[in-house]
Amino acid sequence: MPHTPPPRTNATFRPPVMEARRWLEGVEFPPDRPLINVSQAAPVDPPPEALRRAIAEAAMTDPQAHLYGPVLGRADLREEVAAQWTQAYGGPVSPDNVAITSGCNQAFCAAIASLCGEGDEVIVPTPWYFNHKMWLDMSGVGVVALPTGGSLLPDPERAKALITPRTRAIVLVTPNNPGGVEYPPALIRAFYDLAHAQGIALIVDETYRDFHSSPDAPHALFTDPDWDETLIQLYSFSKAYRLTGHRVGAMVTSAARLAQVEKFLDTVTICPNQLGQIAALEGMRSLRQWLSGERAEILARRAAIEAGMPPLADAGWQLLGVGAYFAYLRHPFAMRSDDLARELVGKAGVLALPGTMFTPQGDADGAAQLRIAFANVDAAGIAQLFQRLGALELPLAPPSVSA
């Protein structure tokens, strides 16, 4: 019989967050040591009352909110994104440059579908966001890993050496998931210039832009008159407005690319969630002060991570990056991070994701790293988390390995 290739979904790994949740099965957590869940970067609180009221009112009074809408999203939301992006980034963005998608993950999938064919390649810094890797695997696109080392900052010159005739894009996530680091504007510009010179796309995922430590624009790419020939920017309303279950994201790029993206979106979801879009628009228009408070809280938790590190560092841990919702740590133990993450559930009452979920199979860095997602852990919870990690009694790795 002729060889039949396996289904595309077989080409990648199981969803990491769901895999980690299975580690909790059969484990009981005593009242004096409840589970600290730092495995997923998603707010668990409901949207603010103003957005819930907007959703409820639209559901009850607007018949159009229950029908198919435009494939590329509601015109009013696209216009608002364009106007706010123009103000925030200092360069003109038109509504024709904006597509609303069913979450930022779908925006990435649509971008890749518009860029890549079978056997093409995309350069992705490691540690990577695992859903990006999963979609590239399932699309038959080669993932070219760009290691970032201890700084977690990708090197444009190293990326340039990886470009081949099959390269179609470079992907950046800033503030970074999983590493937390914020890429400096000059670094983003260098990658943009590289992509432009090579005739490939630069995909910049700014899901966590609302929690950047700087009040200034994270980059000035939109000020280039031909930015849309190179840049594909992705965004998520989920984290900013607690709309994770409503699935509302955005892509900002050329109108010509969006004509191709529209084919993908129409085939997959037909249109984004109407009620979610209504809530996102209300959030953008009326909740700027509230969002500033959310940002201040996340920055306070970031400060708590940094302030709480010295005792943990004394126990051999190393903070590689922190920002947005994430702290990325190097552990000191003589075991792989995937084994350690499972051990943490029972030994420390902590659920976290290992670096092996963010790196290629066999990667030595990933085996020594751990991601902490602190979106739902306040300063007191962070102190308790660090106390539990610092109290672990496990065999230590040799100094040459853990340095």
What confidence category does residue 2 fall into, taking pLDDT thresholds of 50, 70 and 90? Answer: low
Q: Are 82 and 93 in contact (CB under 8 A)?
A: yes
Q: 267-288 burial, b for 16+ CB within 10 Å, e for fewer? A: eebebbbbbbbbbbbbbbeebe
**Distance in angstroms (rounded) separating the CA atoms of residues 46 and 130:** 25
- Helix or strand (DSSP H, E) at 100: strand 98-101
**Distance in angstroms (rounded) separating the CA atoms of residues 257 and 233:** 12
The answer to whether residue 385 scores a pLDDT higher than 90 is yes
User: 3-state class of 62 per DSSP?
Assistant: coil
Q: Residue 151: how many CA atoms within 13 Å on its side-chain side?
A: 9
Phi first, then psi: what are they for 124, rounded to 5°? -130, 120
What are the residue ranges of helices labelled H in 5-48? Answer: 16-22
Q: Are 201 and 168 in contact (CB under 8 A)?
A: yes
The answer to whether residue 400 scores a pLDDT higher than 80 is no
Q: Are 105 and 173 in contact (CB under 8 A)?
A: no
DSSP track, 195-251: HHHHT-EEEEE-TTGGG-S-SS-S--GGGSTTGGGTEEEEEESHHHHT-GGG--EEE
Q: Are 232 and 204 in contact (CB under 8 A)?
A: yes
User: Which residues 6+ apart lie within 8 Å of 255 measured at CB?
Assistant: 94, 96, 97, 228
Q: What was the pLDDT predicted at 3?
A: 75
Q: What was the pLDDT predicted at 401?
A: 46
Q: Are 370 and 355 in contact (CB under 8 A)?
A: yes
What confidence category does residue 398 fall into, taking pLDDT thresholds of 50, 70 and 90? Answer: confident
**Distance in angstroms (rounded) separating the CA atoms of residues 117 and 140:** 8
The answer to whether residue 402 scores a pLDDT higher than 50 is no
pLDDT, tens digit (0-9, with 9 covering 90-100), for 143-200: 999 999 999 999 999 999 999 999 999 999 999 999 999 999 999 999 999 999 999 9
DSSP label of 176: -
Cα 205 to Cα 40, 264, 328, distances in angstroms:
18, 19, 18
Q: What was the pLDDT predicted at 266?
A: 97
- Helix or strand (DSSP H, E) at 137: helix 130-138
Q: What was the pLDDT predicted at 399?
A: 74
Q: Are 95 and 75 in contact (CB under 8 A)?
A: yes
Domains of the chain, CATH where assigned: 8-45+290-395 (3.90.1150.10), 49-287 (3.40.640.10)
**Distance in angstroms (rounded) separating the CA atoms of residues 373 and 51:** 25
The answer to whether residue 1 scores a pLDDT higher than 70 is no
pLDDT, tens digit (0-9, with 9 covering 90-100), for 58-100: 999 999 999 999 999 999 999 999 999 999 999 999 999 999 9
Question: To the nearest whole number, what is the mean pLDDT of the chain?
Answer: 95
Q: Are 351 and 6 in contact (CB under 8 A)?
A: no
Return the structure tokens found at 186: 């000059």
The answer to whether residue 138 scores a pLDDT higher than 70 is yes
Q: Report the Cα–Cα distance between both ends of the chain, in Å, rounded.
A: 53
Q: What was the pLDDT predicted at 5?
A: 79
Q: What was the pLDDT predicted at 403?
A: 40
**Distance in angstroms (rounded) separating the CA atoms of residues 397 and 49:** 49
Q: What was the pLDDT predicted at 386?
A: 97
Which H, E and C letters describe 142-155, residue by residue?
EEEEEECHHHCCCC
pLDDT, tens digit (0-9, with 9 covering 90-100), for 218-266: 999 999 999 999 999 999 999 999 999 999 999 999 999 999 999 999 9
Q: 339-371 burial, b for 16+ CB within 10 Å, e for fewer? A: ebbbbbbeebbbbbbbbbbbbbeebebbbbbbb
pLDDT, tens digit (0-9, with 9 covering 90-100), for 302-333: 999 999 999 999 999 999 999 999 999 999 99
Cα 271 to Cα 68, 73, 248, 258, 277, distances in angstroms:
6, 7, 11, 14, 10
One-letter amino acid at 214 equals: S
Quick one: which of 99, 126, 129, 95 has its CA closest to 113? Answer: 99
| Cis peptide bond N-terminal to 178, omega within 30 | yes
